[in-house]
Amino acid sequence: MKVKSAEFSTDLNIPCKSHFPCYQDAFLVTTTKQSLSAAQVYFAIFAELPKGVTLLLRFRNKIVRYFGFKTSESTMAGSLDNMRVGQKVGFLEYMHVSEVEVVSFCEERNMAMWLSVKRVEENSFVIATRVELRTWQARIYMTLIKPFHRVIAPLCIRSALRQGKI
């Protein structure tokens, strides 16, 4: 049950060329269950976030709405049976869904964000985030959020592992 930082791979279905500054990170997780699809891992991690994370997202939403950022309920996965390209879930929309990789994204005036879960070995997955910072507000936001993201992302993954979801 390990979660560790990983290289941000260029073979993800996430656009990587932009004239905007970007933040990106990736985490490698080895699951305890065998033969999981990327969709199953995506759903296990993001369908039900830990309660502390949900509270932090609600707090974040109350603040950032005044600066023109999108806000939504704290769910990011929807239904495992209905995952399909173009489906909106919370503030995210699925842009790629396959056995090997699921990519969701959100685009707004301040920034664009992509979230990928990709199987890299039989029971190993990379969970990657890329944020394109389009305005000075987005750069300030990311400066403030980055330390939390580096803790919260692995926490959500570990929670899914502890609960036996992946």
Long-range (24+ apart) CB contacts under 8 A made by 83-87 are: 83/39, 83/42, 83/43
Question: Model confidence at 147, in pLDDT bands (50, 70, 90)?
Answer: confident
Architecture of domain 3-9+22-162 in this structure: 2-Layer Sandwich (3.30)
- The per-residue pLDDT for 99 is 94
Predicted confidence at residue 73, as pLDDT, reads 61
Average pLDDT over residues 29-41: 93
Query: What is the per-residue pLDDT for 38?
Result: 95
Nearest one of 46, 17, 152, 153 to 104, comparing CA atoms: 46
Q: Is the pLDDT of residue 165 over 60?
A: yes
Are the C-beta atoms of residues 106 and 89 closer than 8 Å to each other?
no
C-alpha 88/C-alpha 102 separation (Å) is 13
What pLDDT score was predicted for residue 130? Answer: 93
Average pLDDT, the chain: 86
**The pLDDT of residue 104:** 94
pLDDT of residue 90: 77
Average pLDDT over residues 111-129: 94
The pTM for the full model equals 0.87
Residue spans per domain, the chain:
3-9+22-162
What is the predicted pLDDT for the residue at 11? Answer: 83
pLDDT digit string (tens) for 54-110? 787 777 777 777 767 766 665 555 677 778 999 888 778 999 999 999 999 999 899
